[in-house]
Amino acid sequence: MEKILIIDDSALSRRVIRGILESTGYTVIEASDGIAGIEQYFLEKPDLVFLDMNMEGMHGVEVLKKLRVLDKNARVVVATADIQTATRDEVLAEGASCFINKPFSAEHVIDSVKRILSGDVERRRGL
């Protein structure tokens, strides 16, 4: 099964996303900040990344840019409480596969992941 990396400074958010993904059979790895997330991406080569925007140290947009430098084909789901259209437009322009607002439903997360991993989705605005 595919491996998914969660980069989020909130332990609660990581736990919720992990529970949703593992219940569907995905292998999940975690990072609690952007630098650790970039390191995990380099070491683990996940199939997909769930990325929060508002984190201490390195903002999610910076992390996204660095991931795309490491791997221009990186598939990244931005999962954030930031509901601004400008933020959504920026991350999609930087190469995110989709943008999901928190809180989200398990069904929405699983549907988005399946569609991205199957190749059905190329940079969608909030699946």
CA distance 60 to 114: 23
Please write the tens of the pLDDT for every residue from 3-53: 999 999 999 999 999 999 999 999 999 999 999 999 999 999 999 999 999
Say whether pLDDT at 126 is over 60. Answer: no
In the predicted model, what is the mean pLDDT of residues 59-70?
Answer: 94
Please write the tens of the pLDDT for every residue from 78-99: 988 877 788 888 888 998 998 8
List of domains in the chain: 3-117 (3.40.50.2300)
Residue carrying structure tokens 């969660």 = 6
CA distance 35 to 16: 21
Confidence of residue 102 (pLDDT cuts 50, 70, 90): confident
Torsion of CA 127, 8, 30, 2, to 10 degrees: 10
- Helix (H/G/I), strand (E/B), else coil: 70: helix
pTM summary value: 0.90
